[in-house]
Each structure stands twice: as C-alpha cells, then as structure tokens.
C-alpha cells in the first residue's frame, strides 16, 4: 500500500510512523487512557485490511482518531488531534523551526555554505542566520506577492537578501563618507567621537566606524585611504613640534620626526588590519570591506597617501598569521588600486607603488585594478566630465552624480538592493524561438521591476532614526532626527540594481555559439545586455529611481539556479549539465582563452553593466614572474575598467604544504602532498565572486572552481 502525502508525493506505507505518533500521545495521558499494544496492532490491521492500494494521509489520521475514540480513549484522541494540528501548523505556516534546528545542529547544507566568509558553526554567525531564517519566512509569507515568491523558488529570478528584508531600514552597500565623520566628528551608540589629531587614532576610529556602518547594512562597503592621509601630516607636525621643543638642530628634528612617523604608519596600518579582521559585525562576520588606493583623489596630501598605500601593500604581502602562526592570505579588506598616469609607466613618480601592487597580487590575490583612463571614458557626469571612483564592496558601482553645487559626489552614496534575472531560464523557456525569447524576457524583466519596486518602497518607509550612524552622523547623510530618507532614494543619489546571471548559457542555447565567438553569439549577447539597459533607462525616466544593470556575483545562487534549471528542463548538454551557471557576462570558466583576449572581450560587456561588474583572469603562482603581472596590469589600464588576477594561496596544517589544494571528482578538497581532507586543518583562499572566500563553498561553486582553466601561465607570459 502507498500513502499520498499533502504535497502530492507518494510514499510507501510505513506502520512504524503510526506507532510512534500514538506512543508520543500515550506519554501525554494517564495510564488508564493509554492505547494498549493490542489496540495499536488492531488499528494497523484495520488500515491494512481496507484493501486500498493508495490512501490519503488525512484519511489514515481520521481512521486513527475514530478507533481511539471507539476504545473510549477520548483524552488520548484529543492529544493525537492536537499533535496532528501542531504538525499541520508547521507545514502550512512555515518551515522556520526546522531550518533553525538544522542550522544549530550543523545539518543545513544551504546555510553551511551560504557564504564562504561566514562560519555557520560559530554562535555569532548562527545568531545572524537564525534572524535571517525568520526574516526570510516573514518576507515570503507577508511582504512579497505570491508570483514573486513562486518565481524566486523556481529559479526564474532571485530576490536577494530576503534574510534581511523584514527590516525596512536595511540597504545593500555603500561608499562610506569617512572624511565627513573623521573631520566633523560623529557618534557611535550615543558616544560622541571627535576629530582625531593623529594618524594612529584616526585608523583606530576608522575601524570602529566601519564596523558600526557594516552592522547597519547587509552588503559590502568601501572606504578610501585618501580620507586618512591628512592625519599623517597631523602626526608629522606633532613630532616636529615635540622635537623642536627639545632644542635639536633642524636636521635632527626632521630625521627623528620622519622615523617616528614611519613607525606610526606601520602601527596604524597594522591596527587597522588586525581590527578589521578580528571585529565582528551584527551580521556575524568581519566587515565586508574594500579599501581604495587612488592617488588622483588628492593633490594636497598625495605624498602622505603614497606612504600609507606603500605600508598597506607591504603588510598585505606579508599576510596574517593563522592559529598555527603561519602567514596566510586574509579575506579582508579587499584592496582596490587605481591605475593612472602617475603610477602606470616606469618613469611615473609612483611607479614603485605599482611594482609593489604587482608583487602583492602575485602573492595575495589583491589588489584589484581600476583603470582611471577607461573609467573616465565610461562614467560621464551631468557636466560632461569623466569620473573615477571605487566600487561599493566587491563590484557594485554607483552612477555619476553631481550635487546641487555642481560638484561630483560619491562617498556617502549607496545601493538600495538587487533582484536578479536568470537569463538561462529565459532562453530555455523560449526553446530557441527568438520571438518568444524577447517576449518572455520582457515578462521576466517586468517581474524583476515589480520586485525592485517592493525593495524601494520598503526602504522608503525608513527614517533617519533607524540607523543614526548612517543617516544622522555622516556615513551617508546628516539628516535630522525623525527625518525621512526618502529623498536619498531618488534622482540618482542612490542606485537600485537589476542583476543578471548566465549570459553565456543563454547565448549558447539560443544561437549555438558562445558570446566569445565574435559573430552571432557575441552580437546576440550584446543585444541582451543592451535590452536590460534600455529597460532600466525606461524605468528610471518614469520613476526618478536610478535603476542600473548589475553583474550579480551569485556566490551560492549559482548552485540554486543550476538545480532549478535541471528540475524545470532536465539535462540539456552544455547548459544544465553542471552544478553551476556562469556569473554575469563572464567567459565560462572551462572555455580556453588567453588572458588578454578574455579581458578585451569582457570589456565590451562590462561597459553594458554600469551598476556593477568585475572581470578576472586565472593564473598560476606568479611570485617569481612579476613581469607577467606588470604586463597584465598595463593591459588593464589601456583596455578595461575593473579587473583582478586570481592566483592560488593555500596551506596544509598537517604537513606544511604551501601551494595549491586540489579538488577530487566528488568535489572534495584535499592536500596533494599528504592527502589531508580535513577542512579545519587546511587554509584555502579562492576568489569566489569578487571577494576572496576562505570558508569553503557549496558543491556547485566548488565544481566551478575545479573547472577553471588558466588564462595565463608562466610559459606564455
């Protein structure tokens, strides 16, 4: 006999489940009201004797209740009915309790691998995830319409960060206005923070501000070292004054002041590194921080800025010690190095910094590189001037903005949130029919538009009181208490992102060619990208909200989308036969292509992803081939706005192997030297989706990492 469950699935009849349910109810009543073993056996025989090949689970439960009452066990029948009702509540209302239990017990695969920089086994992260599970449940049941939830569940779209959506005040990512907070003072938890007068103090305060800001949002954040450079001069003047007061010669004063300043810069950068990596935000993680190094942001303090950049790069090259005392690659902060005329040529005054950056990239996978030249060609403000500024976090870029005084403004701005369209699902749903493709594409884009409007409207209900560090004390604004943040969500001050994923698979299925073929595939891929930009422009014109096309990182969602596609369309060779889909516009990880061709091709697609994008190349260990790194850096400067170099930097704590950990056919990590497979005894760092991940990944992402081909090797460089 088989049983038809409430969700329509069919399972074999299992009498032990009935025995267990009655046994639990028996424990709740007096001895006289308990069902005997003989009575339980009779109930089971009665069900089996009905001669039915299939029974509804509800019918079985009705029979049990009737039989218990026929024995006079009314109290027992009542307990069984209550047990049945409570189980129904769990099923009908939500699965929050089960998900939380699985999280706490370490049995939930999704939460264990949801973020490669969050350890789901520690209490701080679990606390954030428990809140996230609850928020997701509230979001699904009360805050989103059924069609959005259904599309999300089926992998047609992805409504990002539902685990934070229940709180209407949380936004995605931002450029922290550290200058305003340090120069004009700020407030953390009701404590006034006045302007610092030394570099070391400024660096300490900066980490506290970053942690407070990161606790009031859920995405990445970026600061610039330019905002810290003035305090280097303050420290130098302090030392000059101190030594001058001792009656020393001018030469001695200068010498001792410079020595003390150098030590303070070392101490300040070290303090910053330690605190950023050891502090925990309310999200249960270190702040997802990027640090911009852009000489062109200042003329007055360029010398001081260069000194700080040099020390940041030197300390990152060294790395940070793990619990075994071995220097490894830290995940944070991500470093962003802007290439410009002052540092890109051998005779440039700051060429030495670019050489240091190349050494750091070869050893520690950062910094990533922003081309001032290319960015100024792409980011034209309302005054017709090209602008250069960092991304928010790992890849989200603001659109150009000029304030009421006609000055460009970037720090203090933010992104409202992301909804991503699965381009692969659009293609497979159209089944290679081009007319159907564009029709379905428009329908899905409108679904994303509706979901983005929901994000926007929920955030628009917030006042400055919900996160004073953001809205009242300078990180993003200086609003009055109780003042609405509504104005900051319109007219280009902030952005909201239409994400996309799987361009390669979409193009491949519809045209039979990769978007790398310089023919019909590439042409179609660019048309798809342009269509999303046209839609964003249309929505922006109608609503004065800055919609922007965003190349979604989809760290764990790549696996979710892949599973959803396989469920909906089966195994389609070359499209749904892997555990992942390709991020944004990227060349698929398994496609053979050289580094320069990849960057040049992707630069054309990066132009059409103004809300966020990053390109990369995979390379072997290049620590002994810095010439190759320099060659790539120069190519980036001339050809693409934003790119990074991925190398390998792993360590085995069992045997001391310092090299590249391997992945077997079952997508499990192991040390090629000693065979160690214990994740807790190896340090692995891989670029996951812009940030470096160090806590391992789900099966789909691990397969993607395993299948990455090298775009540059030491022979060809």
Longest dimension (CA), the chain: 108
Among candidate residues 365, 392, 536, 661, the one labeled active-site is: 392
Among candidate residues 115, 283, 396, 584, the one labeled active-site is: 396
| Distance in angstroms (rounded) separating the CA atoms of residues 445 and 431 | 18
Residue 173 bears catalytic tag: yes
Residue 555 bears catalytic tag: yes
Question: Coil, helix or strand for 567?
Answer: helix
Among candidate residues 690, 691, 698, 704, the one labeled active-site is: 690
Among candidate residues 114, 304, 310, 555, the one labeled active-site is: 555
Residue 434 bears catalytic tag: no
Among candidate residues 415, 583, 603, 683, the one labeled active-site is: 415
| Distance in angstroms (rounded) separating the CA atoms of residues 95 and 133 | 9
Query: In the chain, helix, strand, coil percent, each to 5?
Result: 50, 15, 40
- Closest by Cα among 310, 317, 389 to 351: 310
| Distance in angstroms (rounded) separating the CA atoms of residues 257 and 260 | 5
Write the Ramachandran bin of 623: left for phi over 0, alpha for psi from -120 to 50, otherwise beta: alpha
Among candidate residues 292, 394, 510, 536, the one labeled active-site is: 394
Structure tokens at 464: 């400055």
CB 76, CB 39: distance < 8 Å: no
CB 657, CB 651: distance < 8 Å: yes
Residue 322 bears catalytic tag: no
Start-to-end CA distance of the chain, whole Å, equals 67
Contacts of 90 (CB under 8 A, 6+ apart): 97, 98
| Distance in angstroms (rounded) separating the CA atoms of residues 331 and 17 | 48
- Give the count of beta carbons closer than 10 Å to the beta carbon of residue 70: 11
Residue 655 bears catalytic tag: no
User: Alpha helices, DSSP H only, in 574-625?
Assistant: 595-606
Residue 394 bears catalytic tag: yes
CB 53, CB 41: distance < 8 Å: no
Among candidate residues 135, 172, 343, 615, the one labeled active-site is: 172
Residue 350 bears catalytic tag: no
Strands, E, within 519-573: which ranges? 546-551
State the burial class of residue 567 (Cβ atoms within 10 Å of its Cβ: 0-12, 13-18, 19+). Answer: exposed
Among candidate residues 350, 493, 547, 550, the one labeled active-site is: 550
517-524's contacts with Cβ under 8 Å and 24+ in sequence apart are 522/601, 522/604
- Residue 699, CA distances (Å) to 113, 116, 664 in order: 9, 12, 12
Among candidate residues 112, 173, 372, 529, the one labeled active-site is: 173
Residue 314 bears catalytic tag: no
Residue 500 bears catalytic tag: no
Residues with active-site annotation: 172-173, 392, 394, 396, 415, 550, 555, 690
């Amino acid at each position: 006999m088989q049983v038809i469950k409430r969700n329509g699935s069919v399972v074999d009849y299992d009498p032990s489940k009935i025995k267990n349910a009655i046994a639990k109810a028996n424990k709740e009543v007096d001895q006289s009201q308990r069902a005997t073993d003989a009575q339980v056996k009779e109930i089971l025989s009665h069900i089996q004797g009905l001669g039915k090949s299939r029974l509804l689970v509800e019918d079985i439960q009705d029979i049990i209740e009737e039989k218990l009452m026929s024995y006079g066990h009314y109290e027992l029948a009542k307990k069984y009915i209550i047990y049945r009702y409570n189980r129904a509540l769990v099923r009908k209302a939500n699965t929050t309790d089960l998900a939380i239990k699985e999280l706490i017990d370490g049995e939930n695969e999704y939460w264990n691998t949801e973020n490669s920089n969050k350890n789901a086994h520690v209490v701080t992260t679990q606390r954030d995830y428990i809140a996230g599970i609850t928020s997701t449940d509230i979001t699904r049941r009360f805050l989103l319409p059924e069609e959005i939830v259904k599309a999300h569940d089926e992998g047609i779209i992805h409504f990002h960060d539902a685990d934070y959506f229940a709180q209407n005040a949380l936004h995605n990512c931002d450029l922290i206005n550290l200058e305003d907070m340090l120069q004009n003072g700020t407030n953390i938890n009701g404590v006034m923070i006045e302007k610092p007068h030394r570099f070391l103090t400024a660096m300490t305060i900066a980490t506290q501000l970053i942690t407070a800001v990161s606790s009031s949002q859920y995405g990445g954040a970026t600061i610039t070292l330019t905002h810290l450079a003035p305090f280097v001069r303050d420290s130098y003047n302090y030392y000059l004054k101190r030594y001058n007061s001792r009656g020393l010669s001018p030469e001695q004063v200068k010498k001792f002041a410079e020595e003390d300043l150098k030590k303070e810069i070392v101490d300040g950068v070290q303090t910053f590194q330690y605190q950023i990596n050891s502090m925990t935000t309310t999200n249960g993680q270190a702040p997802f921080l990027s640090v911009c190094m852009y000489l062109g942001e200042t003329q007055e303090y360029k010398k001081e800025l260069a000194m700080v950049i040099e020390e940041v790069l030197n300390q990152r090259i060294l790395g940070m010690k793990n619990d075994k005392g071995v220097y490894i690659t830290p995940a944070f902060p991500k470093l962003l190095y802007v290439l410009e005329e002052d540092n890109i040529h051998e005779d440039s005054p700051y060429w030495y910094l670019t050489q240091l950056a190349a050494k750091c990239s070869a050893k520690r996978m950062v910094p990533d590189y922003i081309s001032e030249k290319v960015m100024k060609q792409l980011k034209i403000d309302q005054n017709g001037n090209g602008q250069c500024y960092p991304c928010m976090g790992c890849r989200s870029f603001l659109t150009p903005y000029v304030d009421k005084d006609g000055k460009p403004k970037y720090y203090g701005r933010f992104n409202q949130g992301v909804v991503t369209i699965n381009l692969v699902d659009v293609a497979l749903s159209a089944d290679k029919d081009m007319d159907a493709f564009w029709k379905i594409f428009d329908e899905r884009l409108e679904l994303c538009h509706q979901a983005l409007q929901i994000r926007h409207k929920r955030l628009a209900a917030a006042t400055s009181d919900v996160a004073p560090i953001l809205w009242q004390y300078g990180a993003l604004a200086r609003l009055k208490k109780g003042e609405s943040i509504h104005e900051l969500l319109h007219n280009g001050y902030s952005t909201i992102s239409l994400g996309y994923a799987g361009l390669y698979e979409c193009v491949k299925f519809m045209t039979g060619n990769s978007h790398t073929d310089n023919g019909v595939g590439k042409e179609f891929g660019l048309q798809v990208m342009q269509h999303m930009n046209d839609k964003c422009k249309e929505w922006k014109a109608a609503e004065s909200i800055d919609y922007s096309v965003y190349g979604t990182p989809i760290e764990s969602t790549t696996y979710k989308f892949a599973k959803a596609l396989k469920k909906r369309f089966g195994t389609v060779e070359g499209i749904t036969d892997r555990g992942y889909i390709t991020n944004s516009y990227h060349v698929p990880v398994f496609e053979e292509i050289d580094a320069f061709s990849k960057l040049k091709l992707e630069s054309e697609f990066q132009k059409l992803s103004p809300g966020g994008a990053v390109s990369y190349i995979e390379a072997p260990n290049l620590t002994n081939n810095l010439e190759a790194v320099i060659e790539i850096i120069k190519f980036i400067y001339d050809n693409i706005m934003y790119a990074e170099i991925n190398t390998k930097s792993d360590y085995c704590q069992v045997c001391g192997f310092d090299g590249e950990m391997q992945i077997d056919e079952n997508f499990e990590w192991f040390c090629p030297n000693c065979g160690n497979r214990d994740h807790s005894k190896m340090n692995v760092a891989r670029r996951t989706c812009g940030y470096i991940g160090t806590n391992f990944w789900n099966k789909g992402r691990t397969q993607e990492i395993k299948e990455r081909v090298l775009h540059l090797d030491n022979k060809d460089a």
